[in-house]
Chain A
Amino acid sequence: MSAFLEVVNAHVLYGQHEVLKGVNLAVEKGEFVALLGSSGCGKTTLLRSIAGFNPPASGAIRVNGHDVTGLPPDKRGMALVFQSYALWPHMTVDQNIGYGLKLRRMPKAAIEARVAEIKRMLGMDTLGARKPANLSGGQRQRVALGRALAIEPDILLLDEPLSNLDARIRLTVRHEISALQRRLGITAVHVTHDREEAMVMADRIVILNNGEIAQVGTPEDVYNRPASDFVAAFMGAENLVELPAETKGDRVEIAAGPFNSAAVVSSRGRLLSGLSNARFRGESVELSDAQGAVSSVQDEGALRLSGVVEQTSYPGGLWRHVIAVGPRHMIVDSPRSFEIGRRVSIRIPEEALFLFPKQ
C-alpha cells in the first residue's frame, strides 16, 4: 500500500537555480513529519510544492493515490499555516477563521457553530470580535491554526509557525499543536530549522541538505544513528576530530595518535579506511583528569581524547568546557568543573561516537 502523501522525485527550479534536486518523501495518514534543515536548504520550497504554490518542474505529488501535481492549491485538501500567519488585517478573528467555510458556501449558522467550536478548542472564545492587530503573537498564531483547521483539511502544512513567537510561548505552543494534531488524527508536515522543535513534535524527521534529503527517520534514529557526517553535525555532534580508522569485520580499529588512544569500536555497518571524521556531542561523553600520558592500551568500546581546558562556563545544570585537543577545540559538558589549564581526558563511548569517511 502506498503512503497517504507522496512526493516522487520532485525537482523544483527558481529560474535557473535548482532548489530541490529530486526529493522522494512518503507520509502516512495521521503522521506528523518535520522537514528540518538550515535556511536555504529547500524545506520551505518542498512545503510550498506540496501545497501547490511552487509546482515542481518534474516529478509528482500524490495524495491518497491521486496525482495532485497540476492541481491548484485549494483543490488538494491541504491547509497551510504561514510563518507570518498571513491573517487578514481587515477581518475579525471570527471572520478569519470562518472565511474558508464561507468560500465553501456553508450556511451562516453552521459557520458560526464551527467557528465557535474551533475557538473553544484553541481557548480563545472571548476574542472573536478582535482584529489581528489587537492580538498577541501567540493568539495570532492560534487564529492562523484555527483558520487552517476550520476547513477540516486532510493534510495540515505548517511553515515555521513558531519562529515568530518568543521562546517561552514557543515551548507551550509546540505541545499544543502536536496534541491537537494527535487528537484530530490529522496528517501534518511541519517545516522548521529548530532541531529540538522537530524532535519534540514530529513522529518522523526529514533532514534536508542543499535540495536533497539527507536522512529520514524517527527522532531517535536521526539523533543516535545519523546517516552522514552532515546529519551528525546538524543534529548537534559538532565536535570533530580527524582520525585514521579501518574497518575490520564488524569492528573499526582506530590507531593511536598524538591526542587519542588506540580504540576498537563496533562498525555498525560503516566501511572506513584511512582518515575519517569522528564526531560526538559534548553532553554524551565523560570528562576526567588525565592519567599521565596517552595510554598505549587499546580501549574497547570507547575512544579517549586528551586535551587542556581553556574555558569554562556554567549555562545551567552542567559545566561547559572548551578543551583544546591539539589544534582543535571541543565543547564538553561535565557535572563538575575542571579548572582552566588542567589536562583532561575525554572518554567517548562507542554509541556516542559517529564515524564517517572524510570527504
Chain B
Amino acid sequence: MSAKSETEVTHGWGSKKLPQPDTAGAFRAKHAGGLAEGGCRFAMPVHLLGFLLVAPALAIVVLLFVVPLISSITGAFEVGGTVSLGNFTKAFELYSGDMLFTLAIVLLSSALIGLFSIMIGGYLTLGSNPRAVAILRWIYRWPLFIPFIVVGQILRTFLAKNGLMNNIFIELGLMTPLSAMSFLDWRGIVIAFVWKQTPFVALLLSGAMASIDRSTIEAARNLGANRLRILIEIVLPQVRTTLLVGLILSFVTMMSVLSVPLMINAQSPTMITANMAFRINAYRDYGVANALGLISLLMTSAVAWVYLRQTMREHSR
C-alpha cells in the first residue's frame, strides 16, 4: 500500500516487460525455422502471443500488487463481514488530529526540502569558488545512503533534551541547562525528513541545472543579473518540472516512512504510519489500519494528480 512498494512493483513490471521483444524475436525465429517456407504461418494470432509473453509479469503484478491493494481497500469498508463506513468513522474519531499532523509535517518538510535543494543546486551550478563547490558536491549526498531508521536513531541522540545539540549549545554558553528542551516532537520529524530527503531532490535538481544551456546563464550575467536573480528568474524556471517531480517523490516517500515517527515522536500527535502499525500490532485491527492506509493513499494521489496535470499542461504547450 505504501508508495515504496508501489514504485518497486512498477520497476518489477518494467524489468519483466523489457526482454519481451528479444524473447518474441527468438521465439518467432525458432518456430519459423521449423516451418515450411512461405504461406504456412504460425497459427496463434500475434496479440495472443504477446499476451502469453507478458502473462508471467502480469500475473506477478496482479497477485502481489493488485489483489492485496483491492483486498485492503475492500477491507477498509468491512466491519464484521458487512460493508460499512465504520472503520472510517473510527479512524476519523481517533486520528483526525494525526491526519492533519501528518499532512502538515509532510508539506512543511517538502517546502523546506525544496528550499534547501534549490540552495544546494543553485550553489553547485552558480557558485564561483571552485573549492567550495567541490566540497559541497562531495558532501551533500551522504544522507542518501543512510537508512531512515538510522537517521531516526542519529537524530534521537542528537536532538534529545540531554542530547548532543543542547550540550554543544550549553558548552558554548548559548543556552542554560534549564532552558534546554527536547526537539523530539514534530520538529524532530521535520528535521529528519529534510535531512534525509534534501540530498535526493538536490541530486535531481543539480543534474537538471547542470544540463541547461550554460549560455542562458551567461546572457543574464552579461545583462547585469546577480546570482540570486539568475537562480530565481533564469535557472529555476527551466528546471521547475524536475523540482516538482523530486518534491512529489519525496512527499510520497515521507508519507510511507514508519521508522522516523516511531523513533523520534511516538507520543500523540504522531504520523498515521505509526497509527497504522499500532492498530495492527496492538489490536489486530486491520479494518481501521486499512482505512488509514486508504486515506494516506488519497493524500498521495492528490499530489500525483497535481503532477499529472502539470505534465499534461507542459505537453499540450
Contact = CB atoms under 8 A, between A and B. Distances in A.
Interface of A: 51-53, 72-74, 78-80, 82-84, 86-90, 99-100, 103-104, 147, 151
Interface stretch (B34-42, B97-105, B135-143, B216-224): B216-224
Interface string B227-245: 0010001100110000000
Given A88-B234, A90-B237, A51 B222 contact: yes
Contacts of B222: 51-53, 73-74, 78-80
Contacts of B221: 53, 72-74
Contacts of A88: 216, 219-220, 234, 237-238
A239 to B, nearest CB: 39
A332 B224 CA distance: 52
B225 A103 contact: yes
B8 interface: no
Contacts of B234: 88
Nearest to B223: A100
B215 A84 contact: yes
A88 B216 CA distance: 6
B213 interface: yes
Contacts of B220: 88, 99
Given A88-B234, A90-B238, A82 B215 contact: yes
A100 B213 CA distance: 19
Interface residues of B, number: 16
A100 B224 contact: yes
B126 to A, nearest CB: 13
A79 B216 contact: no
Contacts of B225: 74, 99, 103
Contacts, number: 58
B271 to A, nearest CB: 37
Given A53-B218, A103-B229, A86 B213 contact: yes
Contacts of A82: 215, 218-219
Given A73-B222, A90-B237, A103-B224, 8 more contacts: A51-B222, A80-B218, A80-B219, A80-B222, A86-B213, A86-B219, A99-B233, A104-B224
Contacts of A78: 222
A83 B218 CA distance: 12
Q: Which 3 A-B pairs have the closest CB atoms?
A: A74-B224, A100-B223, A86-B215
A132 to B, nearest CB: 10
B235 to A, nearest CB: 10
B224 A86 contact: no
B51 to A, nearest CB: 40
A79 B213 CA distance: 18
A129 to B, nearest CB: 13
Contacts of A90: 237-238
A247 B311 CA distance: 76
A79 B222 CA distance: 6
A84 B214 CA distance: 10
B216 A86 contact: yes
A89 B238 contact: yes
24 contacts: A51-B222, A53-B222, A72-B221, A74-B221, A74-B224, A78-B222, A79-B222, A79-B223, A80-B222, A82-B218, A82-B219, A83-B215, A84-B213, A86-B213, A86-B216, A86-B218, A86-B219, A87-B219, A88-B237, A89-B238, A99-B233, A103-B225, A104-B224, A151-B223
Nearest to A53: B218
Contacts of B213: 84, 86
Contacts of A53: 218, 221-222
Contacts of A52: 222
Most chain A beta-carbon neighbours within 10 Å: one of B216, B221, B224, B237: B224
A89 B217 CA distance: 12
Interface string B176-218: 0000000000000000000000000000000000000101101
B233 to A, nearest CB: 8
A53 B215 CA distance: 11
Contacts of A84: 213, 215
B223 A99 contact: yes
Nearest to A103: B224
A80 B222 CA distance: 7
A53 B219 CA distance: 10
Nearest to A89: B238
Contacts of B233: 99
B15 to A, nearest CB: 35
A80 B224 CA distance: 12
B305 to A, nearest CB: 24
A87 B229 contact: no
Contacts of B218: 53, 73, 80, 82, 86
Nearest to A52: B222
Contact of B223 (A83, A87, A89, A147): A147
A87 B216 contact: yes
A89 B240 CA distance: 13
